[in-house]
Structure 1
Amino acid sequence: MSKKINLSFWQIWNMNVGFFGIQYSFGLQQTAVNPIFSFLGADHHDLPWLNLAGPITGLLVQPIIGALSDKTWSPRFGRRKPYFFVGAILCSLCLFLFPFSSSLWMAVGLLWILDAANNTAMEPYRAFIGDNLPQNQHTFGFQMQSLFVGAGITIANLSLFVFQKFFSQPAVESASICQTDNANSIPTWVYYSFFIGAFCSIASVLWSIYKTPEYPPSEEELQKLVEEKQKNNNFWKRIMAPIIEIFQSIANMPKLLWQLALVYLFQWYALFCYWQFITPTIKRTLFGITAADEEKSTRLIDACKNGVELTSQDANFVKHIADLTEQAVGHTGLMNGTYNFVTMIIALALVPLARKYSSKIIHTFCLFFTAFALLMIPQIENKYMLFIPMIFFGIGWASMMGLPYSMVSKSIPTDKRGVYMGIINMMIVIPMFIQTITFGPILKNLLNDNPINAIYAAGVLFVLAGISVLFMKVERENANHE
């Protein structure tokens, strides 16, 4: 590969624009997908296993795509670009179709395809940044990704708040509450955010593809790619080659990446708890909806659909709970938009701090800020005061989206950047998978089936994540290193 030159601010900006669309989609998954499951009849303790798509597709798709992209080169299409282009197209199609889900299982199925598409796009994008920047610009490049992570998720979440605020339909008449189309259905204002996401996903990726060339492999690297292709000259060898490479790379993984895996175990388990249970939590703390209220509303809707005529008082109760639930979804969008807006502002500011004090120290403090935010949220009953913990959360999220990658980038062999970025994603999705299969029973049997306790648990896990960072042996970044 040719010697890398320092890129300008705007070159690095254009390189990362595609992350905006990918993260807009991720923002909708964070905030809108679980409420959509609830709108379609899911109970809150079922949310973890309904989210199995994320960890499983991430576990299977990202490392394989990473290994394949390491072995790809086309003078016309490049190395990483074909993968995140295809991922963006599939993502756009899924986002367009998602709000038309007519049943819970249709929504769950689309989530599987959407997650696979996002994973196909995201992992090569991480490697794309490392491929195109010299070592001394890695922290800046990955923190620029954090900026676009914040921007994409911010716009996604604020769109949910704005559309709920201004385009929510008036409550249905009591006579129509029992109709199947009105009970357990997705509000029409949710559609608009998904349509915007469908456009942003493909448009932003096309911008980066057009604006950013990829470094061609050196003659030696090209020869190695040819030899790999000749060695894997039949279908089954081509299928098994990336899988074998993944296991070989894990076996030879640098110690620093194993240390990062422990941090990620606590961090991503906690984040999945937050995204799944923040709306159920603020339904209780901010909007006063109790578990008994939700059970009563569900019972009345089921009775009505079975032919029982509701009294006006019961019909108004059902409408009231439905209205408050929609407001909770909208306010979750505003809260999540707030922390991602903070991420946009703080992301690049972390670069000089990381160089001065080390990425390790700054990341540790940022994880403790996130823990503080999560432990505060359930104690706040004022909707304006909830923005304070979101500021701390945004600082932590800015660090999580960039600093770990710069911390381990020197330890990753350049010819295996794609596969190791995929393995790092395995460190993300394995904790998510563990959360989806374990946290439902934990919540139901140990945490009193109370979503508020899920947020407290997430806060404690972030404390453990911050402590774990202190045990990582991270090499200080040399600003003069090319």
Structure 2
Amino acid sequence: MQATQPRLSFWQIWNVSFGFLGVQFGFALQNANVSRILSDLGADLHSLSLFWLVAPIMGLIVQPIVGSASDRTWNRLGRRRPFILAGAIAAVLGMILLPNAPLFVAFLAPMLMGALMVALMDASFNVCFQPFRSLVSDMVPPSQRNVGYSIQSLLINIGAVIGSILPFVLTNVIGLENTAQMGQVAPSVIWAFYIGATVLLGTVIWTVIRTKEYAPEDYNRYKGLSETASVTTEGKKAPLGQRLAEFFTLVKDMPTTMRQLAVVQFFSWFALFIMWVYTTPAITQHIWNVDKQWFDPTFIAAAPVVPEAIVMAKGAAGDWVGILFAAYSVFAAIFSIFLAKLADKFGRKTVYAGSLALGGISYVSFLLFQDLNMVNVNLLITEVTVPLGAVKLLIPMIGVGIAWAAILAMPYAMLAGALPANKTGVYMGIFNFTVAAPQIVSGLTAGWILSSVFDNDAKYIIVVAGVSMLIGAASVFFVKEADKQDLEAAKGA
């Protein structure tokens, strides 16, 4: 009877994470288009970050619950796969309904309907995210962990590339309209969400079918768990009060590595949240030279008509954000290929810190790329005419992509070895606090900073993101990774 966890082939590791490609496809569509959708439905710049708070709040609530539940689950589908499949089905429903929010105006205001569908999508994405992270930790042996999370990062970014660029392709290749009047959603965005929902469900079903999770006795043997420490579904469910007490005890006693990574995560995700929320208005103002007043719903409502040039510029800028987000995902996917080898050679901390530093510098450099001269750009699939500054913004996307690849892989690779095997799911869920909390802080403060400090000049809030990422890079060097003694203690916990 084999006592050592077997090594997996490349395609086995690929199949474990393949569904994450579809989940990230949907998540990328949301990141690149929700600000655009909510703005078209009537949100102002100050309130945009408040609507985006739905995502981290859902993560804060959902992931620890799902993590704890998946630790205790073992049925015909396995341990993590039931949650991945359920989350995917719910996410598909949200992705179909969100771009159709204006159709439900007889029942709910479009803005409220949009916010509810964003909440449904985010809750569903989070139901998928946490079990996928834990599935890699469960299935991939320690010697392949860098590879496992690097492949997951690669697949995430492949999905993000396609999801980010899809509305642009539907407009410039297929010919769908990319503009919308106030209270409506552009047809290219609507169809992008339909396609994304289909891809999400298909890839998740692939992972569920092609990945066979270990039986409880095999898992316990591979992870070195005793009978008392093993994961089991037997016995009575503890009362709610006891479960809450146990949960807070876990939080209080979290591994040192996890606490130190939380600081890095705070500054990293604070920056990412700003980028996702404010890149569209930032480049519309800074690169397409649209006055900030055209992001004020009160001003727009008082204007006799929104000039056609403003409508077209907003549509073009919104499409280009998809190109930029796809670009950083391409660079992240490429970097993910080399990430494991770089981490093995130079150490995880060095690679992680250097990546974040490059991302921070890239955000700050947004200020340098304004150029209003219009140029024709051949994107292979089509040609477009955009300001030269928009093309130049592809340069900082290299650094942003490298930082994003590291954020997706390095903290989880560093953390996985510090966690007790029988509590991996719940601790991965708790670790999501370090993703959700900084986004909540960013959502509560970024809009105020933008309006009160920068007078709604959105390019400067991107600089704030850069400074935050640089602080995160410096914080990496204070993280102490688990050593062999820690790992042995964790196994017996």
TM-score w.r.t. the length of structure 2 is: 0.87
For residue 92 of structure 2, what is the aligned residue in structure 1?
Answer: 92
Amino acid in the other structure paired with 1:232: K
Residues in 2 aligned to 1:2 and 1:107: alpha-carbon distance in whole angstroms: 51
1:85–1:241 distance in 2 versus 1, CA, 3 Å: farther
Amino acid in the other structure paired with 1:122: F
For residue 194 of structure 2, what is the aligned residue in structure 1?
Answer: 195
Residues in 2 aligned to 1:475 and 1:224: alpha-carbon distance in whole angstroms: 20
For residue 272 of structure 1, what is the aligned residue in structure 2?
Answer: 273
For residue 448 of structure 1, what is the aligned residue in structure 2?
Answer: 455
For residue 11 of structure 1, what is the aligned residue in structure 2?
Answer: 12
Map of 1:54-453 to 2, 5 A cutoff?
54-74=55-75, 76-102=76-102, 103-166=110-173, 167-169=175-177, 182-218=181-217, 229-232=234-237, 237=239, 239=240, 242-295=243-296, 299=299, 302-303=301-302, 310=304, 315=305, 318-381=307-370, 382-453=389-460
CA contact (8 A) 2:73 2:232 kept: no
1:254–1:273 distance in 2 versus 1, CA, 3 Å: same
CA contact (8 A) 2:73 2:233 kept: no
- Find the residue that maps to 2:93 and give its secondary structure: helix
1:135–1:123 distance in 2 versus 1, CA, 3 Å: same
Amino acid in the other structure paired with 2:264: V
Amino acid in the other structure paired with 2:177: Q
CA contact (8 A) 2:70 2:79 kept: yes
1:298-347 deviations in Å (ceiling 9; x for gaps):
645x357xxxxx5xxxx4x5222111101111000000000101111110
- Structure 1 residue 384 displacement after superposition: 1.6
Residues in 2 aligned to 1:148 and 1:227: alpha-carbon distance in whole angstroms: 31
CA contact (8 A) 1:281 1:378 kept: no
Amino acid in the other structure paired with 1:374: Y
For residue 381 of structure 2, what is the aligned residue in structure 1?
Answer: none
- Structure 1 residue 448 displacement after superposition: 2.8
Amino acid in the other structure paired with 2:328: Y
Residues in 2 aligned to 1:351 and 1:452: alpha-carbon distance in whole angstroms: 34
- Structure 1 residue 184 displacement after superposition: 2.6
Residues in 2 aligned to 1:322 and 1:28: alpha-carbon distance in whole angstroms: 21
Structure 1 unaligned spans of 5+: 173-181, 305-309
- Structure 1 residue 208 displacement after superposition: 0.7
- Structure 1 residue 291 displacement after superposition: 1.3
Amino acid in the other structure paired with 2:433: M
CA contact (8 A) 1:358 1:476 kept: no
Residues in 1 aligned to 2:38 and 2:5: alpha-carbon distance in whole angstroms: 47
1:38–1:469 distance in 2 versus 1, CA, 3 Å: same
1:449–1:355 distance in 2 versus 1, CA, 3 Å: same
Residues in 2 aligned to 1:439 and 1:377: alpha-carbon distance in whole angstroms: 17
Moved more, 286-295 or 332-341: 286-295
1:96–1:145 distance in 2 versus 1, CA, 3 Å: same
Amino acid in the other structure paired with 1:339: Y
1:323–1:6 distance in 2 versus 1, CA, 3 Å: same
Residues in 1 aligned to 2:302 and 2:390: alpha-carbon distance in whole angstroms: 34
Residues in 2 aligned to 1:415 and 1:170: alpha-carbon distance in whole angstroms: 49
Amino acid in the other structure paired with 2:209: Y
Moved more, 222-231 or 124-133: 222-231
- Find the residue that maps to 2:417 and give its secondary structure: helix
Residues in 2 aligned to 1:414 and 1:292: alpha-carbon distance in whole angstroms: 54
1:107–1:242 distance in 2 versus 1, CA, 3 Å: farther
Q: CA RMSD in A?
A: 2.4
1:429-468 deviations in Å (ceiling 9; x for gaps):
0111111122222222223332111100000001100000
1:73–1:375 distance in 2 versus 1, CA, 3 Å: same
1:84-136 deviations in Å (ceiling 9; x for gaps):
11000000111111110111111101011111111111101100110001111
Residues in 2 aligned to 1:136 and 1:454: alpha-carbon distance in whole angstroms: 41
- Structure 1 residue 242 displacement after superposition: 5.0
For residue 22 of structure 2, what is the aligned residue in structure 1?
Answer: 21
Residues in 1 aligned to 2:136 and 2:350: alpha-carbon distance in whole angstroms: 24
CA contact (8 A) 1:364 1:466 kept: yes
- Structure 1 residue 80 displacement after superposition: 0.5
Residues in 2 aligned to 1:42 and 1:206: alpha-carbon distance in whole angstroms: 36
1:262-315 deviations in Å (ceiling 9; x for gaps):
1111111111011111011100121110113445x8645x357xxxxx5xxxx4
CA contact (8 A) 1:57 1:119 kept: yes
- Find the residue that maps to 1:412 and give its secondary structure: coil
Residues in 1 aligned to 2:231 and 2:179: alpha-carbon distance in whole angstroms: 64
CA contact (8 A) 2:178 2:315 kept: no
- Structure 1 residue 231 displacement after superposition: 3.6
CA contact (8 A) 1:2 1:215 kept: no
Amino acid in the other structure paired with 1:265: F
- Find the residue that maps to 1:183 and give its secondary structure: coil
Amino acid in the other structure paired with 2:465: A
1:240–1:150 distance in 2 versus 1, CA, 3 Å: farther
CA contact (8 A) 2:293 2:299 kept: no
- Structure 1 residue 155 displacement after superposition: 0.3
How many percent identity over aligned positions? 32
CA contact (8 A) 1:164 1:326 kept: no
1:320–1:266 distance in 2 versus 1, CA, 3 Å: same
CA contact (8 A) 2:22 2:200 kept: yes
Amino acid in the other structure paired with 1:210: I
1:160–1:170 distance in 2 versus 1, CA, 3 Å: closer
- Find the residue that maps to 1:3 and give its secondary structure: coil
Residues in 1 aligned to 2:97 and 2:334: alpha-carbon distance in whole angstroms: 32
For residue 105 of structure 2, what is the aligned residue in structure 1?
Answer: none
Residues in 2 aligned to 1:355 and 1:476: alpha-carbon distance in whole angstroms: 15
- Find the residue that maps to 1:17 and give its secondary structure: helix
Amino acid in the other structure paired with 1:406: A
- Structure 1 residue 48 displacement after superposition: 1.0
User: How many pairs does the alignment contain?
Assistant: 454
- Structure 1 residue 247 displacement after superposition: 1.4
1:322–1:47 distance in 2 versus 1, CA, 3 Å: same
1:108–1:170 distance in 2 versus 1, CA, 3 Å: closer
